[in-house]
Structure 1
Amino acid sequence: MLYHGSCHCGGIAFEVEGDIGEVTRCNCSICSRRGSLLWFVPRDKLRLTTPESAMSTYTFRTHRIQHHFCPTCGCAPFADGAMPDGSPIAAVNVRCLPDVDVSGLKVREYDGKSV
């Protein structure tokens, strides 16, 4: 399935393809503050429909994950990182996919605070 997502103001917009089997709720310092529900997809399944220059990026601790956010509205629709084998991955905040009913999703808890 093809989903259309964006930050709140639409400054960052994207399409992402796949089936949402489950999402992850992480308790790390940034995810818990943002309230993100993350869907992990191969990075080539996410395509920006706005210029990359519209995004700001934040990294912390190990600097392996690039947390992208909108400098206008502050919304963080996705992050880029890599799987243990090095393959690129995107962590899509499903709360930024307006056609997804998050109340019906299977949620997996992840203890990112302890990593």
Structure 2
Amino acid sequence: MPDKQLYSGHCHCGAVRFTARTDLEGMGDCNCSRCRRLGWIMQSVSEADFTLEAGADHLTTYRFNTEMIDHLFCRTCGIESFAQGSDGKGNRMYMINVNCLENPPPVDHGAIKHWDGANF
């Protein structure tokens, strides 16, 4: 398993900025009505590995379906660079949008995990 690296990410306008420490193992996509439209590539990170650096005051929340995930959008440019929720054990987790990272490694789309959110 590769070592975790620190990545910086942001929304389109740069108002919302974050850092996340991850090895980018386990990237995935989802076919639910929302993710399918957004074209997200997701990577989960623990609360300890995520820092919101700027833009908390620019975030607006959207919840749907089970309303267990806070989908956080920049109110200026509309980009969702990350979401937050909890894992099955109640631990705070973040789902970062790999497409919002600065200088991410190339993504092998054939190797990412596919989540069947449409039938969840």
- Asked whether the equivalents of residues 58 and 76 of structure 2 are also in contact (C-alpha less than 8 Å), the reply is no
- Asked whether the equivalents of residues 77 and 93 of structure 1 are also in contact (C-alpha less than 8 Å), the reply is yes
Consecutive unaligned residues of structure 1, counting only runs of 5 or more, are none
Q: What is the correspondence of 1:40-59 to structure 2 with a 5 Å cutoff?
A: 40-59=44-63
Return the offset for 1:13: 0.3
- Percentage of matched positions with identical amino acids: 34
Equivalent residue letter for 1:19:
D
Q: Does 1:84 align with 2:97?
A: no
Q: What CA distance in whole angstroms lies between the structure 2 residues aligned with 1:82 and 1:51?
A: 22
Equivalent residue letter for 2:115:
Y
Return the offset for 1:52: 1.4
TM-score by length of 1: 0.94
Q: Does 1:8 align with 2:18?
A: no
What is residue 113 of structure 1 aligned with on the other side? 118
Write the deviation string for residues 86-106 of structure 1: whole angstroms up to 9, x where unpaired. Answer: 111101000000211343463
Equivalent residue letter for 2:29:
R
> Aligned residues, how many?
115
Return the offset for 1:29: 1.1
Q: Does 1:73 align with 2:87?
A: no
Consecutive unaligned residues of structure 2, counting only runs of 5 or more, are none
Write the deviation string for residues 43-92 of structure 1: whole angstroms up to 9, x where unpaired. Answer: 22110111411111100111100001111111110000111111111010
Q: What CA distance in whole angstroms lies between the structure 1 residues aligned with 2:108 and 2:86?
A: 28
What is residue 25 of structure 1 aligned with on the other side? 29
